[in-house]
Every structure is written in structure tokens, then in C-alpha cells.
Amino acid sequence: MAQENISVVVHSPGDLRLETRPVPEPEPEEVLLQMHSVGICGSDVHVWKRGIIGDYVLTKPMVLGHEASGRVVKVGSAVKHLKVGDRVAIEPGVPREVDEFFKNGRYNLSPTIFFCATPPDDGNLCRYYKHSANFCYKLPDNVTFEEGALIEPLSVAIHACRRASVTLGSTVFICGAGPIGLVCLLVAKEMGASQIIISDLCPERLKMAKDLGADFQLVVKKDDSPQQLAKTVEDMMGAKPHITIECTGVESCIQTAIYGTRSGGVVALVGLSTNTVTIPLINAALREVDIRGVMRYCNTWPTAIAMLASGKVNVKPLVTHRFPLEEAIQAFDIAYQRKGVKVMLKCDQDDQKP
């Protein structure tokens, strides 16, 4: 191998290091990838700062990163559909068991799934990484490596919009204009939403949302009441939206989502923070507002690749910062400060292009 396997490793809360790890050897059903572009997700920052994500606690050093693309440099003996040189996007969740969830196609719900950078499973923010070939998807020539990496957050949005039943003519309220809120905006539009309103505390993020096609932007203040905000949404749109996609995980925003959604509509919960929240459940029940959970995604990569290759969805403007892998610590600081939208790490010394 031409380069050492520099890897971005979290050791304990607040302790992030660049270290050299061995280049892995692919198993028969795996491929070895030379990593190209890896985006930083909020969960990477969270694990770095807190050493925990949900119920998953860091108990040993772990490589971060799960929004990734790379090039095949070695194929396992049983791999049929990929060859050396292929450019691929990586689906980071790989089921370990043929359980009921695997069999019914909702493999994201399998409790034993391998998932990059969820403790203790290593992620792919490194130079060389091996992965199940079945969960690597060949990128068409007109889809860049960075778009390939952005398929991961785009997948969250595709799954969220599917769970929320977004369809032709839907009116949609998106809470939060961070990376996930913005990809939900792009996907909801493409799935036929007729009107989209998006809210955030931060006017700069809403400016990006406007540029990406949001019809209405709502600047929220920290002490706005959920019922008042719900009324503002209704006034701005002319009627309550059919669907709300909640991307913040903040308790008051989940409350706003419920009050703000039309009777008979759907609230999809994408943002997740604390385990327990107080919500107006009876208000939702009496108005038959369905509250639906969203756990990552399943069966989204082929859809996402088709959307990118056809030019129907443009995720390129989401990348606001780029750093070479060697500057990962600085990159994580920028992501922590929530400057810009998506921070991308460039893992191939010989090709730092998008």
C-alpha cells in the first residue's frame, strides 16, 4: 500500500487522535477500500465529546466516520459485483443475523446490526477500510465521491420521507435546518411536496434552506411557545401542514411538531436526544396525528444513486468545509462549532477533489 492507514480514533470523551492502524485484509465477502471522502456527522462529534451515543458507550478506542465513499483496491474471493478500481458509496449498517427484520426487509431494526462508528464498531474515517461488498454500491461516473458520501445523510431523508408518507401535493413542515433538515427538504420536494416550511434558530441556515427551495422559512426564538409557533406555521402556509418532519430532537420542537400538524396527518421523528420527552400525546390521539419513528434507513442506496445520477437532487451545496484527513482534529472543531453545514474529510492524499 502506498500510504499508511491513518485513522481518526476516539479513545475517551474529548480524546480524539490520529493514529496509524494496520491495513485490514478483506474476508471472502468483503472489499478493501481506499477511502476518498468522509463527512462528519453530529453523532461523530457527540461520541468524541461524550463517549456515548444513545445506549452505546465507548469502552475501547473506536474509529469514527459513517458517511463515506471510496475506491475498491482489493476484492474478497467470493465477491462478484465489484472489481478493483470501482468507485463506491458505503452503506454503514450491515446486518449480522438473518433475523425477522432482515427477512422482512426492515434490516435497520435488527438489534445486532453492525454500524460504523456506533460503539464498539469501527467507522471508516481512515485511509483503508474493509466492508461487506453487498453494502458497497458502485457509483456512476457522473456521481462524485462527495455525493457518494452524502448518500448516507440523504438516506436518512429518503427513509424519513417514506415513513412520513410524503407524496404528490403534500404540505410539509421541517423542524431544523441542519444537514438532516436540509436533505429532508430536498427529498420531500422531489417526492412531490407542494409547499415546504422549515424552521431553525439560525437565520444563516434558513438562508441555505431558501436557496435549496424551501417555500417558507421560520426563524424560531428559544422561548417561543410550541402552540404559538404552530399557529405561526398555520398562518404562513394558509393551513396546517399534512406532515411534519422533526429533525432537532428538542422537546419543545417535538411539541410544536404535534400541535402544528393537520388532523389526520403524520409527525416523523428523525431528531433524537433524550430518551424521555413530554409531549401532547392526547392532542395527537384526538386529532389522529400519527407519530412515527425513524431509525436510520433501509433500502435507500439504490434510490439515492438514481436520484443523484439523474440530477433530480443536488446535494453538492451542502459541503461547506473540506479538510485533508491529516487535519481531522481541526475539522472536528469546526463541526463542533456548527460552522457551515457539512464538513468533509479528504482521505486520499493523491486526490482531494470533490
The footprint of ligand 572 (CB under 6 A) covers 41-43, 53-54, 56, 118, 152, 156, 272, 296
Burial 278-308 (b: 16+ CB within 10 A, else e): ebbeeebeebebbbeebbbbbebbebbbebb
Helical ranges in the chain per DSSP H: 42-50, 100-103, 145-163, 179-190, 203-211, 226-237, 251-260, 281-286, 301-309, 328-336
* Best CA proximity match to 242, nearest among 188, 206, 286, 298: 188
Q: Residue 41, interface with Zn ion (CB under 5 A)? A: yes
Work out how close the CB of 227 gets to ligand 572 at its nearest, in angstroms, rounded to a whole number: 28
Q: Residue 9, interface with Zn ion (CB under 5 A)? A: no
Work out how close the CB of 151 gets to ligand 572 at its nearest, in angstroms, rounded to a whole number: 11
Work out how close the CB of 116 gets to Zn ion at its nearest, in angstroms, rounded to a whole number: 9
H or E stretch covering 318? none
Give the C-alpha separation, 34 to 4, whole Å.
11
Nearer to ligand 572, 237 or 345 (CB): 345
Work out how close the CB of 307 gets to ligand 572 at its nearest, in angstroms, rounded to a whole number: 17
Nearer to ligand 572, 46 or 322 (CB): 46
* Best CA proximity match to 244, nearest among 274, 203, 279, 204: 279
Nearer to Zn ion, 197 or 341 (CB): 341
The listed partner (Zn ion, ligand 572, none) that binds 131, CB under 5 to 8 Å by sort, is: none
Q: Residue 150, interface with Zn ion (CB under 5 A)? A: no
Length of the chain: 354
Nearer to Zn ion, 41 or 47 (CB): 41
Residue nearest to ligand 572 (CB): 54
Asked if 313 and 212 touch (Cβ cutoff 8 Å), the reply is no
Work out how close the CB of 44 gets to ligand 572 at its nearest, in angstroms, rounded to a whole number: 8
